[in-house]
Chain A
């Protein structure tokens, strides 16, 4: 929770995650190459490897893009979110290997510099079937590099979570470029219709999940009816909050997480100071509200992280009256 650069600490969970990730990617590549060698005996090993790496990276990008909306729609998917950045970096490395091998295979045999050849050999932008798809892939790879390079918490703290998250929304642009890269590249020369069908299915799933999660979130952002008492807003029924858990309510324009801890109500911002995770979907552990995304902790009464950490989230005054929890929309100032 410091702005100082810290090396990644490899917990057992991260090691297990990374081993499974590496095994899955290696297994995918092996199966793809083996199946390709059987179904396309004329293809060289280099070609099969290029196709395998590209397909593996594209599949991983689909998985990465599905995790976020799935977690918004169903908490049971949260464990997939914890180390999503590891999958992102793995996906970038796989995509980069695909790009490097493709440049070697298709652009390194001439007199021209391979990168110059990549950028200048096809300029038929007015042709759909011969569109310069490789440039689209290169642009997507540059975006993925930027995201992989800034994936460490150091950059999250340095850039601040809102800026970092906006920067990492560029993954949508990268995805769009890669769909076009595949559509105008691999699909153009594919003998079977299945690659096109699978690409369409992938796009439908990713877009459908994001739209569903976006509509779900927008509904949750509907403001509460303005029932006020001494400046306090009626937020929820106190008995409806389970012990150690929270109910999230819109107070003004903000989501506030109202926790019940040791029989008392506490209201803090629903937005974690680390990666803007939904604190209200977490629970209290050792007397602290614990974010469900990465385990950052905050005291429910002050919104401050336990010492020695110095992160904080806004805390709000609240009270119980007539069975309801009333929350004051102005955050409490804590100068210490």
Chain B
């Protein structure tokens, strides 16, 4: 009765796990330099 539902969880993670790992690696490889161009400027303090 619910065997297809149980197995659909496994199928979902077989797809999701490698896909999200690729997303994370791509995002990590595209990280910008976090150092501000002008370290003296705090954008959060700007009016």
Interface residues of A (CB under 8 A from B): 42-44, 47, 128-129, 131, 162, 165-166, 169, 172, 175-176, 179-180, 183-184, 187-191, 196, 199-200, 203, 207, 210-211, 213-215, 217-218, 221, 253-255, 269, 271, 276
Considering residues B10, B12, B19, B45, which has the most beta carbons from chain A within 10 angstroms of its beta carbon? B10
A47 to B7, CA, bound (A): 42
**Mostly helix, strand, loop or mixed at chain A's interface?**
helix
Asked whether B42 lies within 8 Å of A271 as measured between CB atoms, the reply is: no
Find chain A residues with CB under 8 A from B2 CB: 162, 165, 271, 276
B13 touches A172 (CB 8 A): yes
Q: Which residues does chain B contribute within 8 Å of A183, judged by CB atoms?
A: 23-24, 26-28
- As a 0/1 sequence over residues 13 to 41 of chain B, the CB contacts with chain A under 8 angstroms (1 = contact) are 11011011101101111111011000000
Given A172-B12, A203-B20, A211-B10: A166 and B28 within 8 A (CB)?
Answer: no
- A174 → B minimal CB distance (Å): 11
Contact A214 B23 (CB under 8 A): no
Return the chain B residue nearest A69 by Cβ. B9
Q: Tell me if B24 and A200 are in contact (CB < 8 A).
A: yes
Which residues of the partner chain B approach A253 to less than 8 Å between Cβ atoms? 3
**CA A183 to CA B27, docked complex, whole Å:** 6
CB distance from A162 to the nearest CB of B (A): 6
> From A253, which residue of chain B is reached at the shortest CB distance?
B3
Task: Kindly list chain A residues whose C-beta atoms are within 8 Å of the C-beta of B7.
Answer: 214, 217-218, 221
Return the chain B residue nearest A129 by Cβ.
Answer: B30
Can you list 22 contacts pairing A with B, beta carbon distance less than 8 Å? A128-B27, A129-B31, A162-B1, A162-B2, A162-B5, A165-B5, A172-B12, A176-B20, A179-B20, A180-B27, A187-B27, A189-B32, A190-B34, A191-B35, A196-B28, A207-B17, A207-B21, A210-B10, A214-B13, A214-B14, A217-B6, A221-B6
